[in-house]
Amino acid sequence: MTITAAADGSALGNPGPAGWAWYVNDECWAAGGWKHATNNQGELKAVLELFRATAHLDEDLHILCDSQYVINSVTKWMPGWKKKGWKKGDGKPVLNLDLLKEIDEAITGRRYRFEWVKGHVGHVLNEAADVRARAVAEAYQRGIAIPAGPGWTGDDAGATLAAEPDSSVKRASDRDPEPEAEDIDAPDDTLFGDALFSLDEVTDWTSLTLNVTTEEHARLVRRARERGVSVEEFLRGLI
């Protein structure tokens, strides 16, 4: 049998007030966050807390995640990073090291697999996790109580357990580690979609002028507000 859960993170401003959440159903979910963190940190923390919440169970864990950075970090890049003393291919320290080390410890002996789902397209479990992660970020932004959720209640409240839909899919924990070709920190792909870079690592800038109509500008402003970022940050994520 398999536990299916979504894990997601949210950061207003990226970095800024941030939240994380994992979600099985309306009676079985948890969330938390920080006053100041990045979206990638929220994504990692959500996965970490999901592993911790289910550590007492002997069930396969099917994790729905819209962050390719998180999936690749856990299933592809960590073995290479560890061999190099948690350094990337260019010798620089791996970002979010504390969270990655905690995840590395939490997944030991676990049976799990990740499934990438595209964010913000109406996927029920992903949207539920996203709403809760964003609610935490907004709570920190507004200085109100944090919606932490009931936590793991699956043992007595009927968390969703389902037969594995495709037994031919290898679990992430079973996959052979890939060579060191991809041991870089990926972009923050849940905030802006398949962005080409992360604002966390930008050190120099090039100016770009964009001419848009009044209607197009209004649409950009609306979409940026929906994501909790400035128009400039939203546009950078689309490049």
Catalogue the active-site residues.
8-9, 43, 66, 120, 130
Pairing of strands 161-162, 2-11: antiparallel
Q: Taking a C-beta distance cutoff of 8 angstroms, is the pair 192, 234 a contact? A: yes
The maximal CA–CA distance of the chain, rounded, in angstroms, is 57
d(CA 216, CA 142): 30
d(CA 38, CA 20): 10
Q: Is 223 exposed, middle or buried (0-12, 13-18, 19+ CB in 10 A)?
A: middle
Q: Is the peptide bond before 15 cis (omega within 30 degrees of 0)?
A: yes
Pairing of strands 60-65, 16-25: unpaired
d(CA 155, CA 132): 22
